[in-house]
């Protein structure tokens, strides 16, 4: 079962397939990560809180 590398939340295999780099089996951040977000190929600290 895939999990987010940052917060360890469950993510679907489809989410990993779309958002993880080809050599990874999990994502570095997910929509549940309030403090991090993807910025191109990198992960950075969020500048503001998300409006989820």
CB 39 within 8 A of CB 31: no
The pTM score is 0.64
Per-residue pLDDT of the chain (52 residues; tens, 9 = 90+): 889 888 889 999 998 998 888 888 888 888 888 777 666 677 777 766 655 5
With 0-12 / 13-18 / 19 or more C-beta atoms within 10 angstroms meaning exposed / middle / buried, residue 27 is buried
Name beta bridge partners: 39. Answer: 42
Q: In the prediction, which pLDDT does 37 show?
A: 67
Report the alpha-carbon distance of residue 19 to residue 27 in Å, rounded: 7
∠ CA(52), CA(9), CA(48), 5° rounding? 35
């Amino acid at each position: 079962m895939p999990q987010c590398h940052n917060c360890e939340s469950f993510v679907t295999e489809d989410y990993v397939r779309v958002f993880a780099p080809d050599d990874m089996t999990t994502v570095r951040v997910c929509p549940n990560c309030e403090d991090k977000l993807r910025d191109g190929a990198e992960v950075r600290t969020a500048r503001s809180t998300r409006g989820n």
